[in-house]
Amino acid sequence: MVQMALMLLNPHRSTYGATDRDLIGKAHAGIVRGFLDQCPAHAATPLLSLPALAAESGVAAIHLKAEWARMGLGAFKALGGAYAVARLVCARAEATLGRTLTPADLGVAEVRDIAGAITVTCASAGNHGLSVAAGARAFGAHAVVYLSEAVAESFATRLRVKGAEVVRAGADYDASAAEARAAAERHEWVLVSDSSWPGYAETPLQVMRGYTRLFEEAAEALEADGGPASHVFLQAGVGGLAAAGAAYLRDLWGEDFKLVVVEPAAAPCLLESVRAGRPVRIDRGVTTLGRLDCAEPSLIAFQLLSRLADAFVLILDDEAGAAASRMNALDAPVSPCGAAGAAGLFGLASDASARRALSLGADARVLLVGSEAAEPSADKGDFR
């Protein structure tokens, strides 16, 4: 185990293999693409080049995936929850009708009739609930989203616009998540969580597979402009985005790039789990990075990242805020959470020992994901 100031090099790093590919790989991205083709609002988000930041950081190139533009919903999570709902509806309809369906069949009247009897539910502190609500509306199901008292009413309004029923429950996200889980069991609803735990894996795995589409788009753009990234910095809460990126890109590019996971210093659930060699629940500190403020990792995300990530880096809230400000000034309107991966890069770029450990040299080509908008976006898109 090698530990530097705010970085842990992964002591369990091993090679991507068949077990990982069964969870997330190139084939899953192709399936996701087929379902997203049924969404008129879906379009690839841009991959931006940031040469000024690359020069400041002493690397050859920085490319930023503009997920704040995703389907008018303002975040990468537009891909995950909606895709999981589509797969749930498809599976229920196949079981009822006794035949295999294609993504195009989701618009058929008899399938929508079946979907109308399905209620999906989740807890949300931000973008996941909006994706689930939009997916339910698109594919004919009903959505109930649990919010804690800490979530702004403006977000509840956005959910209602998408047709979701909003239930306030508990003082924080953990309390609202417990209520959503209990309600699903009580009412026989389908829980659509973006985190997994023992006995609950299939739906969050579909959520994570939905995220592969953004990495497929990014890889296509990179390979048309000089080749694959040498370094990928991905922010993490429970780890779904980072794990999806790690598994898909390892399948595509192999072992020759460095994958760095970035977490808030106040909520390092993945770093501490990797240090312990098993998923652990941490005592969180206070952080303003609300969508990354997680006490324990998703089980599937931990299984993948504990083997496929090269390093885990911690950032302070102020560093994420400063990174967001730098990127906003370059017409990349990301929130501090959306800029957390960039903050990890900027912090390491000035640390000579960290650069050596990660082979982060002057020829490095870095991929970042701007995972959410600087402010909640006005809903300009829909899944219908």
For residues 347 and 315, what is the distance between their CA atoms, to the nearest angstrom?
8
Name the E strands within 119-266: 119-123, 142-147, 165-168, 190-191, 231-235, 258-264
Same topology for domains 2-75+208-370 and 77-203, yes or no?
Answer: yes
pLDDT for 74 equals 87
The confidence score (pLDDT) of residue 1 equals 37
Determine the pLDDT at residue 6: 86
pLDDT > 80? residue 262: yes
Task: Give the amino acid at 373.
Answer: A
Share of the chain above pLDDT 90, in %: 84
Spatial separation of the C-alpha atoms in residues 1 and 12, rounded to whole Å: 9
User: How high is the pLDDT of residue 4?
Assistant: 44
Separation CA 259–CA 13 (nearest Å): 11
SS3 category, 306: helix
Given a cut of 80, whether residue 347 has pLDDT beyond it is yes
Q: Report d(CA 374, CA 325) in Å as an integer.
A: 10
Q: Report the CATH number of the 77-203 domain.
A: 3.40.50.1100
Q: How confident is the model over 269-297, as a mean pLDDT?
A: 93
Between the alpha carbon of residue 378 and those of residues 71, 136, 250, the distances in Å are 11, 19, 35
Split at pLDDT 50, 70, 90, the class of 155 is confident
* pLDDT tens string 65-90: 999 989 888 899 889 999 999 999 99
Q: What is the distance, to the nearest Å, from the Cα of residue 15 to the centroid of all Cα atoms in its chain?
A: 22
Kindly indicate the confidence band of residue 218, based on its pLDDT and cuts at 50, 70 and 90: very high
What average pLDDT does the segment 339-363 reach? 96
**Size (the chain), residues:** 384
Q: Is the pLDDT of residue 348 over 60?
A: yes
Architecture label for domain 2-75+208-370 = 3-Layer(aba) Sandwich (3.40)
Q: Find the range with the poorest average confidence among 72-86, 229-243, 321-335, 350-364.
A: 72-86
Under 8 Å between Cβ of 248 and 262: no
Q: What is the pLDDT of residue 384?
A: 29
What pLDDT was estimated at residue 382? 35
| pLDDT exceeds 90 at position 352 | yes
pLDDT at site 377: 45
Please give the Cα distance from 118 to 334 (Å, whole number). 35
- Domain boundaries in the chain? 2-75+208-370, 77-203
Between 73 and 215, where is the model more confident? 215
Confidence of residue 41 (pLDDT cuts 50, 70, 90): confident
Helix, strand counts (H, E) of the chain: 15, 12
**3-state secondary structure (DSSP) of residue 146:** strand
Q: How far apart are CA 326 and CA 280, in angstroms?
A: 34
pLDDT tens digits for 227-256?
999 999 999 999 999 999 999 999 999 999
